[in-house]
């Protein structure tokens, strides 16, 4: 009777449901907010977020987005204590004392969380990562295959595990190619285009001295900055030197020559992280750290180089 009247317009209050069930129904996502200074590619986060959102939706969860201010102390566990989230995905995490401690607290108290594209090797923190080590290996091997003998590596900050991973892959690839490893050929950027641009001067010097003939940059943005910077010195990617980036972001197809890069399955990483946290049956919890493969995308910035130079 009342049912009939109700059925017409009745909508249960999610607020009351969640309260009664003592479940927020929210999957929290932490994003680093770097206002006005875009160290991170928005591409990277958009992709991950799409994956997370899709999977969260499939499981009936809503996405609660939290921006982490650079200075602000990380009270990740508080999100669980206040019951704002049932599970948490942390993006753009860095290996720093504050961060480790906040994550350790989550782990100690048994709150379900997952890192994406970042690992803490000595810690048991669950993570979905990409195989940046083998990706870097591939790309540096490719550079060597194109005739490069002195391959420089422009890395980002080592607080990101993927920076260390790429460095390892770079070294291993040099070895496998019978090329010497020289710390002089490692340049420190910060993943911004600007940092690539600024490093160009000293890279150009090195190239002039014959000490660099190929460059692998830790992301596309730095690679693009390098390409632009070296152009100022009359040096063209794909002709005077080979250049590769990482991420296969939109920018990689916007430059001329287009950029050889590594395609990282960010959306799938986000999806997997969410599934790990939200799926009851599906078992991905056996290994704490999941690594997805990365794919080499060859474009013109490394293409024609091989034909001209093997001038050691």
Partner DNA sequence: GTGAAAGCGCTAACAC
Partner DNA sequence: GTGTTAGCGCTTTCAC
Count interface residues toward its own copies (CB under 8 A). 47
Q: How far is the CB of 202 from its own copies (least distance, A)?
A: 21
Asked if 111 contacts 84 with a C-beta cutoff of 8 angstroms, the reply is: no
110 touches its own copies (CB under 8 A): no
Contact 129, 161 (CB under 8 A): yes
| Closer CB to its own copies, 171 or 253, in the complex | 253
The torsion angles phi and psi of 90, rounded to 5 degrees, stand at -115, 120
C-alpha separations of 200 from 148, 151, 190, 192 in Å: 18, 14, 14, 13
For residue 267, give every residue at least 6 positions away whose Cβ sits within 8 Å of its Cβ, in sequence order, or none.
47, 48, 50, 51, 54
Residue 285's binding partner out of DNA, its own copies, none, with CB under 5 to 8 Å set by partner kind: none
**How far is it, in rounded angstroms, from Cα 204 to Cα 212?**
8
Distance CA 43, CA 165 (A): 21
Whether 251 and 222 have beta carbons less than 8 Å apart is answered as no
**By C-beta, is 23 or 184 nearer to DNA?**
23
In the bound complex, what is the minimum distance in angstroms from residue 257's beta carbon to its own copies?
10
Q: Are 43 and 249 in contact (CB under 8 A)?
A: yes
Residues 10-49 that bind DNA (CB under 7 A): 11-13, 16-17, 19-22
168 versus 300: smaller Cβ distance to its own copies: 300
Interaction between residue 2 and DNA (CB under 7 A): no
Confirm or reject binding of residue 255 to its own copies (CB under 8 A). Answer: yes
Name which of 78 and 176 has its Cβ closer to its own copies.
78
Give contact residues for its own copies (rule: CB under 8 A): 11-16, 18-19, 22, 24, 26, 29, 33, 35, 38, 42-43, 45-46, 49-50, 53-54, 57, 62-67, 78, 81-84, 193, 221, 224, 228, 231, 250-251, 253-256, 267
């Amino acid at each position: 009777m009342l049912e009939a009247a109700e059925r017409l317009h009745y909508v249960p209050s999610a607020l009351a449901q969640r309260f009664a069930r003592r479940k927020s129904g929210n999957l929290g996502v932490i994003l680093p907010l770097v206002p006005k200074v875009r160290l991170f590619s928005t591409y990277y986060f958009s992709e991950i977020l799409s994956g997370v959102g899709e999977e969260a939706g499939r499981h009936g969860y809503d996405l609660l987005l939290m921006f982490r201010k650079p200075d602000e102390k990380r009270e990740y566990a508080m999100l669980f204590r206040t019951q704002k989230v049932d599970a948490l995905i942390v993006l753009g995490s860095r290996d720093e004392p504050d961060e480790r401690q906040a994550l350790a607290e989550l782990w100690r108290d048994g709150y379900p969380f997952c890192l994406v594209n970042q690992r803490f090797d000595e810690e048991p923190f669950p993570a979905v990562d990409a195989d940046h080590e083998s990706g870097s290996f591939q790309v540096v091997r490719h550079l060597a295959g194109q005739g490069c003998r002195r391959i420089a590596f422009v890395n980002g900050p080592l607080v990101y595990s993927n920076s260390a991973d790429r460095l390892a892959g770079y070294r291993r690839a040099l070895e496998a190619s019978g090329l010497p490893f020289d710390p002089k050929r490692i340049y420190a950027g910060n993943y911004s285009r600007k940092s690539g641009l600024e490093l160009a001067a000293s890279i150009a010097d090195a190239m002039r001295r014959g000490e660099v003939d190929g460059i692998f940059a830790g992301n596309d943005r730095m690679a693009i900055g390098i390409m632009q910077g070296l152009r100022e010195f009359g040096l063209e990617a794909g002709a005077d030197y080979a250049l590769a980036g990482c991420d296969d972001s939109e920018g990689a197809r916007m430059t001329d020559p287009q950029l050889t890069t590594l395609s990282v399955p960010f959306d799938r990483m986000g999806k997997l992280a969410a599934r790990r946290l939200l799926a009851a049956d599906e078992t991905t919890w056996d290994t704490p750290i999941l690594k997805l493969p990365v794919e080499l995308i060859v474009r013109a910035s490394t293409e024609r180089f091989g034909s001209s130079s093997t001038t050691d």
